[in-house]
Chains A and B, each alone.
Chain A
Amino acid sequence: MNGRESEVLEVLLEAATTVRREQDLAGRLIPPPAWWDLAPATLDELFRRQVFAREVERALDPAGRSGTVKAVMGRILGA
């Protein structure tokens, strides 16, 4: 993998690490656009980055909540 390809992969992985999910008309959560561009083999690395990102979110959030918990709470309270 050359430098440019590696830079593109980094951006895709970080974009896919987000907790924000759109919903389709049936209410199903849609994977972020970057997720579709990742090869299956790189999805293991995405898993690790998501685990790390959620730990960082817990540590930096005043209530100790990860982005996942905040996203679900947003839907529960907004429902």
Chain B
Amino acid sequence: MTEIDSAFLAARAGDAEAFADWMGRVERPIRFGLRRFARAVDVEGVVQETLMRMWLLARDASRPLTGEDASLRFAIGMARNLARAEARRLGREAHLPIDDSLEDPVPPDPPSDPGLARAIRECFEKLSRKPREALLARVRYGATTPDRSVAKLLLMSPNTFWQNIARARRQLADCLRGKGVPLEEILS
């Protein structure tokens, strides 16, 4: 049994923390499975909707999943179906991938890279003050609080907040490249 299967099995018992662990393991492959849909749909929204539906499926004992990494394979298929349906609903079918058979194969997520996380943390400490404040606030509050409200907490206008996030991203990327982190590999 893979670690993905173990985490999903624990989530089936209603353990939300185990489900969070499962999400951490499958989020990247689900997202990369939607790369070719990026022009047609809001990929972030489809990833979140997929994860929500997988939580409902995990709680439904009448719908077993079998086979290695079955939950991941099922979630990637569900995500692509949701993306196609959402593109049709939004009238953006013209931007859907032309040939589904060309969809990228998605390998299970590699274990999290402690070296990358450490490099990001080191580079984060080197950011200039305002970009650092903006990025940290978004990491802390951004999942549940609108950016406009986070900006207000920092006494910034929304535009200034987003400009600071952009500066933080550029400074982080430059620092990571300086450390020899293969950023292009991570993003593709």
Contact = CB atoms under 8 A, between A and B. Distances in A.
A74 B44 contact: no
Nearest to B148: A15
Interface in A62-77: 64-77
Grouping DSSP codes into helix (H, G, I), strand (E, B) and loop, the B interface class, with mixed when no group exceeds half, is: helix
Contacts of A18: 138, 142, 147
Interface in B79-134: 95, 112, 116-118, 120-121, 124
Interface in A3-45: 7, 10-11, 13-15, 17-21, 28-32, 35, 40-41, 43-44
B57 to A, nearest CB: 13
A68 B186 CA distance: 18
Nearest to B119: A59
A35 B39 CA distance: 10
A63 B131 CA distance: 22
Given A35-B42, A60-B136, A55 B147 contact: no
A50 B43 contact: yes
Interface in B143-172: 143-147, 158-159, 162-163, 165-166, 169, 172
- Residues of B in contact with A, size category: 35 or more
A69 B47 CA distance: 10
B9 interface: no
B23 interface: yes
Interface in B28-52: 28, 31-32, 35, 38-40, 42-45, 47-49, 51-52
B165 A17 contact: yes
Contacts of A21: 42, 44-45, 48
| Chain A CB within 10 Å, residue with most, of B27, B121, B124, B158 | B27
B78 interface: no
A22 B139 CA distance: 18
16 contacts: A11-B166, A15-B158, A18-B142, A20-B147, A21-B42, A35-B42, A40-B39, A44-B38, A48-B188, A50-B31, A52-B173, A55-B120, A59-B120, A60-B120, A69-B20, A69-B51
Instruction: Enumerate the 10 nearest inter-chain pairs by beta-carbon distance, A residue then B residue, closest first.
Output: A31-B42, A59-B120, A70-B143, A59-B117, A47-B38, A29-B45, A40-B39, A14-B162, A71-B143, A72-B51
Interface of A: 7, 10-11, 13-15, 17-21, 28-32, 35, 40-41, 43-44, 46-61, 64-77
Given A7-B163, A56-B172, A66-B27, 6 more contacts: A10-B162, A19-B142, A54-B28, A60-B124, A69-B20, A70-B144
